[in-house]
Structure 1
Amino acid sequence: MTTLIRAARPWGGELSDVTIVADESGGRISAVEKHDPTRPASQGTTVVEGRGRLLLPSFSDVHVHLDSTRIGLPFREHTGGPGVWAMMMNDRLNWRKAEVPLVDRVRDTLGRMIARGTTRVRSYAQVDVDCRLERFDAVMAAKEHFKDQADVEIIAFPQAGLLREEGSPALLEEALRAGATVMGGIDPCTLDRDPVRHLDIVFGLAEKYQVPVDIHLHEPGELGVFSTDLILERTRALGMQGKVTMSHAYQLGSVNEATTRRLIEAFAELDVSLASVAPGSVGVAGQLPIPLLSEAGVRLGLGQDGQRDYWSPYGNTDMLDRTWQLAFTHGFRQDQLIEHCYAIASIGGASILDPGATRLKGTAHRPGVDVGDPAELLLLEGGTVTSAVMDRGTDRTVLHRGKVVADQLQLL
């Protein structure tokens, strides 16, 4: 199969015709040529009209909680209390009472994400003594439903910790046996209050099932740095370079400049990646600087986090909105830095899902639409990439593995 995208502008450059051919991975770009309005399409070629739109790599949402979504449901009063445990208990008390069954909510939310341009996803699935594998099963069902429209990884996630409730580690292991491909962890000090035992379980299960690790870290300041150093120590000792992601971690830059640089150098040395959700007022001043992370070669991705759920009313399935939020919360105004936020939301996340994929090499690097690149693509209206991030238009066409899977915010 061959697909021709006619008259599109890769990363806002000159008008081009882009050819995609099928291969064992599903589809790759085979040619990027100056647009020729008389160019014929060979027999059997699918033609996609670019209409002068931007051609960009599609989004990679690498931090989303599909299992808690209330997208499409009426707004409800926010009833959560402060802190992770109080918020988790609020979720536990309410998630079964939603107007629509969980499996339908998860499937609808993932479908909306794909329709808006996300074709690569890493979702958390809460596993604990209350829900057991029910929430994991709902995410797994959505993954299977959309297997031809997006690639989805599922994290076995101990939202309630691993030590507070008896039987939690066994349930996490059951999820890994059932198809989870990432082992999760969360706040080793403040939630479980025993970072050594917590991380022993997380890394022990990851090593046993040969899966990567993704750890939520909300812990502040020096305490967050302490937990991070323990994670780095295990990464080095177990030879898990390239297999560990720190999510949130929005206070690691709050201690002092020397600590910030030390951590960035350690992330680069051990190939530990970071996943941001572009937090608002909480933690903005303490985030690790994006330009320094990029300069050091640290992989950084972006995600929606929860979406209009029992934790927060924010989130709307649109990674273009979250890209705007990443630029806004960091105070970026220069085009290069705003475009870099788009690169983080697409190629940056893709390199977290596949450490062997193309990595961003600096704030001016714009990969993803060159010959040899996977055909995970988004056609998007806009005069420039920056204007597209600011305007967040709806004229979009989404390609996964070289095939159109959504157009005008509708799944095909």
Structure 2
Amino acid sequence: MAATQASTHLTTPGLTTPGLVDAHIHPDKSSWGAPWLSRKPAANLAELIENDRASQFDFNMSVEERVYSLFEQAVANGTLALRAHVDVSPELGTTNVEGVRAAAERLSSFLTVQIVAFPQFGLLTNPGTLDVMAASLDAGADLVGGIDPVGVEGDLHGHLDAIFGVADSKGRDLDIHLHDGGEAGLEAIREIATRTIATGRQGRVTIGHAFALCDESLPSLGQTLDLVAEAGVWIATCGLGADPVPNLALLQERGVRVVAGSDGVRDTWSPFGTASMVDRAHLIAYRTGALTDADLEHVFDLASRAGGELLGVAEIADWAGPESDTRLEFAAENLAQLVVDRPAPLRVIRNGKEFIRE
């Protein structure tokens, strides 16, 4: 386990920054700390989900131990807050949520963890999941999740009725996976934004991936971006492999709030991921063609201050500067070089305590 101690010795780092935030991660799927996991081929989302379902019970390590190993690595890399999407289903019950919450408690001095109850295997199409989702909100989950209302569930309004209904009954915010592209994807995004406004949830709903927003040829893109901005809906992007990435400058110009996440880290979907949001900022910057210092600094902001705002972590969102008792220290000249070179932090300090990994 990680030991903590008051920060007493002095260093002279080249760069001091706010803490990092992973705004979209699936820790319960991770094989971090376990033996190498060979992945099965998958040609589409449905096959990835089915491979994941088949692998859920194959791990020799418990959810808590794998997640703790991953979280410890994330903190060592400067992540001080994260939003964890955790699978719930009749097959799994609330086990994964309980395991992730237990791992989070072991690092609570350094890591703020929000858990999203995520219906990876379907909600309407997997009977009983809605009840488990509701139960998970009493077992350690914080937010209500969702999964492609059209592409996975085949019922845009039915799926959104269900998850907004649970959110209403439990008084929770929502974070919805949306891989659907094209005009159908934009329609789903507009419907989520419309419901966000209608229920008074401005700033309290997030859409993960939102691949439809990445296609600038779609006729209704501008209209959709304006509605997303009006609703204060957050967009979480991860810069994954061959998946589309948004035009960050366009979203910023339209007033759309964006955060960064790592999605899967060495999980059943992909062998990639390092539990470093500096690495993730690098990948997003590379994928979006960042060239100038301002571009690179903007991507770092998505992985730090913006994520702190989304998760409500004031010491990151409203960082007090290099003298803050919550900070990261790096051997880098500036933020642009940090994003390009991707060093690990020299020191990770939260509330005056330095993280020391045993």
Same fold (TM over 0.5): yes
> Which shifted more, 213-222 or 388-397?
388-397
Q: Which residue type is aligned with residue 237 of structure 2?
A: S
| 2:342 maps to 1:389 | no
Partner of 2:274: 316
2:242 is aligned, of 281, 290, 296, to 281
Aligned residues of 1:187 and 1:219 also touching (Cα < 8 A): yes
Q: Deviations over 1:347-366 (max 9, x none)?
A: 1111111298987xxxxxxx
Aligned residues of 1:64 and 1:303 also touching (Cα < 8 A): yes
Aligned residues of 1:214 and 1:244 also touching (Cα < 8 A): yes
Partner of 2:302: 344
| 2:91 maps to 1:91 | no
Pairs within 5 Å for 1:36-55: 46-55=7-16
Partner of 2:253: 295
> Which shifted more, 97-106 or 333-342?
97-106
Measure, in 1, the Cα distance between the counterparts of 2:66 and 2:243.
Answer: 28
Partner of 2:3: none
Offset, 1:71 = 1.4
Measure, in 1, the Cα distance between the counterparts of 2:227 and 2:304.
Answer: 24
Aligned residues of 1:80 and 1:310 also touching (Cα < 8 A): no
Partner of 1:185: 146
User: Percent of counterpart pairs with the same letter?
Assistant: 31
1:230 is aligned, of 191, 200, 217, to 191
Measure, in 1, the Cα distance between the counterparts of 2:218 and 2:183.
Answer: 13
Partner of 2:321: 370
Size of the aligned set, in residue pairs, is 353
Measure, in 2, the Cα distance between the counterparts of 1:222 and 1:248.
Answer: 15
| Compared CA separation, residues 80 and 127, structure 1 to 2 (3 A) | farther
Q: Which has the higher contact order (CA 8 A, sep 6+)?
A: 2
Pairs within 5 Å for 1:127-206: 127-206=88-167
| 2:212 maps to 1:251 | yes
Query: Normalized against structure 1, the TM-score is what?
Result: 0.81
What RMSD over aligned residues (CA atoms) do the two structures have, in Å?
A: 2.2
5+ residue gaps, structure 1, are: 1-44, 360-366
Partner of 2:76: 115
Partner of 1:42: none
Q: Which residue type is aligned with residue 291 of structure 2?
A: R
5+ residue gaps, structure 2, are: 1-5
Offset, 1:317 = 0.8
3-state SS of the aligned residue for 1:177?
coil
Measure, in 1, the Cα distance between the counterparts of 2:53 and 2:151.
Answer: 19
3-state SS of the aligned residue for 2:206?
strand
| Compared CA separation, residues 161 and 257, structure 1 to 2 (3 A) | closer
Q: Which residue type is aligned with residue 162 of structure 2?
A: I
Q: Deviations over 1:113-133 (max 9, x none)?
A: 011100011101100111111
Offset, 1:87 = 1.6
Q: Which residue type is aligned with residue 302 of structure 1?
A: A
Partner of 1:11: none
3-state SS of the aligned residue for 2:91?
coil
| Compared CA separation, residues 270 and 389, structure 1 to 2 (3 A) | same
- Based on CA coordinates, which of the two structures has the bigger radius of gyration? 1
Offset, 1:403 = 2.1
Q: Deviations over 1:54-111 (max 9, x none)?
A: 1101100010001000113333332142333322221121232224222211111011
Measure, in 1, the Cα distance between the counterparts of 2:9 and 2:183.
Answer: 52
Q: Which residue type is aligned with residue 370 of structure 1?
A: G
Measure, in 2, the Cα distance between the counterparts of 1:257 and 1:390.
Answer: 32
Aligned residues of 1:85 and 1:160 also touching (Cα < 8 A): no
Offset, 1:281 = 2.3
Q: Which residue type is aligned with residue 239 of structure 1?
A: G
Measure, in 2, the Cα distance between the counterparts of 1:138 and 1:172.
Answer: 15
Aligned residues of 1:379 and 1:398 also touching (Cα < 8 A): yes
Q: Which residue type is aligned with residue 229 of structure 2?
A: A
| Compared CA separation, residues 119 and 268, structure 1 to 2 (3 A) | same
| 2:27 maps to 1:77 | no
Measure, in 2, the Cα distance between the counterparts of 1:101 and 1:52.
Answer: 38
Aligned residues of 2:186 and 2:221 also touching (Cα < 8 A): no
Offset, 1:262 = 2.1
